[in-house]
Structure formats: C-alpha cells, structure tokens
Amino acid sequence: MMVPQQDISSFEHAPNNAWDIQLDRAICSHVQAGLNYEWLVTNGLGGYAAGSIEGATTRSYHGLLVAALKPPVGRTVLVTKIDEEVTVPGKEIVRLGVNEYHDGTIDPQGYHFLTGVSLEADIPCFRYQLNEQLVLEKRIWMEYGQNTTYIQYTLHGELPQHVDDELWLTLVPFCLSRNHHTVTQGSDDWQFIVDAQENRCRIRAYNEAPVYHLIAGPSAFFSPTGLWYWNVLHRHDVERGLPGQEDVYQPGIFRLPLAPGMHASFVLTAESTPAHDFGSALHEEAVTEALQRHQHRVKQILATVDCSVDNLQHRDAVLA
C-alpha cells in the first residue's frame, strides 16, 4: 500500500479503484515531495517491509525486513534498506539510492532517475530511467506467513549495437538488529558477525542476536565491507519529537550481472532454514513461484473486498 504522509483525506481526484495508485515523475523526482509518500507490505505475522518511495528511511519503523520474531509481536528491524548502483555501457555508474543525513545532506540522489511508482495489487513497483535506452523496474513483496522479503529487479530496453560492456547491478544493504521502536548508535569497535559465501551471507549483529540471511542468484558474488554509515536522519520521527538519528551497518555488497529482459532477485529472510532453491540455479524460478503464490492470494482477497474510494478517509486502507 502507498499513501502520502500528509493529507490522506484529499481524494477528490482519486481513481475509482483504491488500489490503482500511480505516482509520476513530477512527484518521484522531487525529493521533498517524494519523501512524504510511503509504501508498506506485510506478511500476515506482524512483520512488514516499508519505506519512502525515494528509498530514504524517514522513520525508524522503516525497513525491508522487519521480522515478527514472536508473532504477532517482537518486530525487529534487520535490513533497513538497499541502495542500488547500475554500471551501464561506457562504465558509467548510475546510483539509485537516496539517504538523508542529520545535516540535511542527501546522498546519493537517485531520485533524479525515479520516473514512476505504481501499485500492482499490493506490490509496489519502482521504475528508474537509467539512460535513453534502459529502464530498471523493482518490485517488493513478502512471503505470507514467513519473515521473508523478495526484491525483484527487471531490466527493460535494448543495448546499442557493438557494445561489449557488461551491465552490473550492485546492491548495498544496510543492516541492524533492533526493536522497531528504537534507534541504533554504532561504534568502530562493533562489527557484525557475517558468514559469507559466494552469493549469500548469514548475519548476526552480535552473538545473541537473531540470525538472518541475504541471498542473491548463483551469478552474484558478495564482497564484505563492514562499514558504519553515521548519522542517518529519520525526518518524520524528528517532526514527531522522537529520536530521529541513527547509525546503520553495511556488511558488504553484492554484484550481479544484468541483461535486458532478465530478472535479478534478492531474498532477505529471518527464517532459520531458507528454502534450498534460494541462491541455487533455481533461484529465479523459486522467486517467480513465490510471486505467483502471492499474486494468487491477493487476487482472491481483492475479489471479496470493496476497492472503491468511497468514504476512504474513514477506512483502513491497508491490505495485510
């Protein structure tokens, strides 16, 4: 679900279907406007993924994997966000992430490339114009009944003829391990425990912390970094008089090849035993099957509910 942070009661020009939500470039490429729009997906356990459409975490509650470790409570922020970088022909690096810091700095400024955000049933879809030829789409959803988030990237367009440069997608995850009501203060002496393999890693913030996994496809490779990013701002928490500044940990980066028409999927999970196919040669098939399961379930739900915008300001417009 996507809603603006302010003025949710203004629906004079809303579509007939409350789930038919589309935001165009006028909003998406204007960072101060885009940071007021937020999306949310849930897993039926109390866990969720949420963020601003720009990608910056404007609340401490935001995260790509907020697991309900003691359903329906025990909500724990494990992965706050992922910044993406795409190496396009000519070896130009297009940075799609957006982070806001305590002094007002916004870096990277990936909102310049965000041309649209839409809701496909309950799945947010983000579209980035990389250059004149290439568009990258990103979709995010969760497995019902599991603390598992899927992020699927799809490249559209054509490469110029006689271009031999490979396209690469770099994923930069930011990790924590905290109650979703709190914030984290990092330390140079605090290094997360990261068990790395070629295309995946197993993470614990400290010995007694919950374990979670980041898994890419078989053609990806993971490079450890172990960096703290200091003084990230959660602007809407500051507006509410809450602690609005924290440090986030980058355990490493994933790099994976891209080609027009192909999917590249990333799995975040706090399940003790991730599905065997994740990270294997069947990785993309497994994620596609997860997407189809999700779409089938949501289609059944939407067939039984009122999707009109009548009286929407007095209704709870969240599909869980």
pLDDT tens digit sequence for 140-152: 999 999 999 999 9
Note the pLDDT of residue 304: 81
Tally of domains in the chain: 1
In a domain, 320, yes or no: no
Specify the CATH number for the domain of residue 83.
2.70.98
Tell me how far apart the alpha carbons of residues 63 and 305 are, in angstroms, rounded to a whole number.
Answer: 28
Boundaries of domain holding 256:
2-314
- Lowest average pLDDT, out of 6-15, 21-30, 153-162, 247-256, goes to 6-15
pTM: 0.91
Kindly report each contact of residues 228-233 with a partner whose C-beta sits within 8 Å and lies 24 or more positions away, as own/partner.
228/186, 228/187, 228/188, 228/190, 229/99, 229/174, 230/186, 231/101, 231/102, 231/103, 232/57, 232/99, 232/100, 232/101, 232/102, 233/100, 233/101, 233/102, 233/104
Under DSSP, is residue 74 helix (H, G, I), strand (E, B) or coil? Answer: strand
Non-local (6+) Cβ contacts of 140 within 8 A are 39, 41, 49, 64, 123, 124, 149, 150, 151, 152
In a domain, 195, yes or no: yes
In a domain, 117, yes or no: yes
In a domain, 319, yes or no: no
In a domain, 271, yes or no: yes
- Which DSSP state fits 128? E
Tell me how far apart the alpha carbons of residues 167 and 130 are, in angstroms, rounded to a whole number.
Answer: 11
**pLDDT over 50 (residue 133):** yes
**pLDDT over 70 (residue 13):** no
pLDDT bucket at 15, cuts 50 / 70 / 90 = very low
pLDDT tens digit sequence for 186-227: 999 999 999 999 999 999 999 999 999 999 999 999 999 999
pLDDT tens digit sequence for 67-82: 999 999 999 999 999 9
In a domain, 9, yes or no: yes
In a domain, 220, yes or no: yes
- Lowest average pLDDT, out of 38-47, 159-168, 294-303, goes to 159-168
Tell me how far apart the alpha carbons of residues 111 and 26 are, in angstroms, rounded to a whole number.
Answer: 11
pLDDT bucket at 310, cuts 50 / 70 / 90 = low
